[in-house]
Amino acid sequence: MEAFQRWINDPGVRKFMTGFTPIGLQEEEEWIDGLGKRKNNITFAIETLEGELIGNIGLHGIDWVARVATTGALIGDEQNRGKGYGTDAKMILLDYAFHTLNLRKVCSEAIAYNGRSLAFNARCGYKEEGRRKDHFFKDGQYYDGVLTAVFREEWLPLWQEYNL
Ligand SMILES: CC(C)(COP(=O)(O)OP(=O)(O)OC[C@H]1O[C@@H](n2cnc3c(N)ncnc32)[C@H](O)[C@@H]1OP(=O)(O)O)[C@@H](O)C(=O)NCCC(=O)NCCS
């Protein structure tokens, strides 16, 4: 729990997140305690095969009628990024979204300079659907939001080839 709070307040993480307020420990605890009660948000911890906690990933704003959700992911320490953990976690999350929850489409939004997020989502089959012009304000400047999404049918062939 302390790790989640430390990561979400780390400037190296925050510059990529769409939220802007710092999160206190109590607020983080309340968020974690409330996870089980939220029907439209499902969040998982990400662990290595050795059991080390390295991040979290979730489905948010689940629309059970349209069968659409939005993903968010975070690998906390820079040394663990760019090693394929995010892609593995996202592919497993999409398997859960499409094959357990029977969702149809999963979306994401990244700040335009977040090349790593766009790259790992592209590997999981996400395609750009549009841009929100000058939508985020970070470090004194406005940046576009890039909206991407993947449909179950587009993801399925990738999943069949994916070797975890
Ligand atoms: C985004 C994030 C979850 C991705 O997880 P990850 O484990 O780092 O991702 P992976 O290692 O699986 O894949 C990263 C991809 O980005 C590429 N990449 C790495 N650094 C990059 C950079 N600076 N710019 C563009 N692409 C980059 C890698 O080559 C890889 O693509 P490839 O597999 O096609 O070669 C993770 O980096 C993270 O937590 N970042 C900070 C928080 C964040 O941005 N969250 C998402 C908000 S939308």
CA dihedral angle for residue 139, residue 124, residue 132, residue 57, rounded to 10 degrees: -60
Considering only CA atoms, which residue is closest to atom 28 of ligand 1?
Answer: 82
Note the pTM of the prediction, 2 decimals: 0.95
- Give the number of domains in the chain: 1
Considering only CA atoms, which residue is closest to atom 44 of ligand 1?
Answer: 16
Q: What are the beta bridge partners of residue 147?
A: 109, 130
- Ligand 1 atom at minimal distance to the Cα of residue 17: 47
Provide the residue range defining the domain that includes 134. 2-161
- Backbone φ and ψ for 102, nearest 5 degrees, come out as 60, 35
> What CATH code is carried by the domain that includes residue 102?
3.40.630.30
Q: What is the pLDDT along the chain (164 residues), one digit of tens a residue?
A: 789 999 999 999 999 998 888 899 899 999 889 988 888 999 999 999 999 999 999 999 999 999 999 999 999 999 999 999 999 999 999 999 999 999 999 999 999 999 999 999 999 999 999 999 999 999 999 999 999 999 999 999 999 999 77
CA dihedral angle for residue 148, residue 56, residue 21, residue 108, rounded to 10 degrees: 10
- Ligand 1 atom at minimal distance to the Cα of residue 88: 12
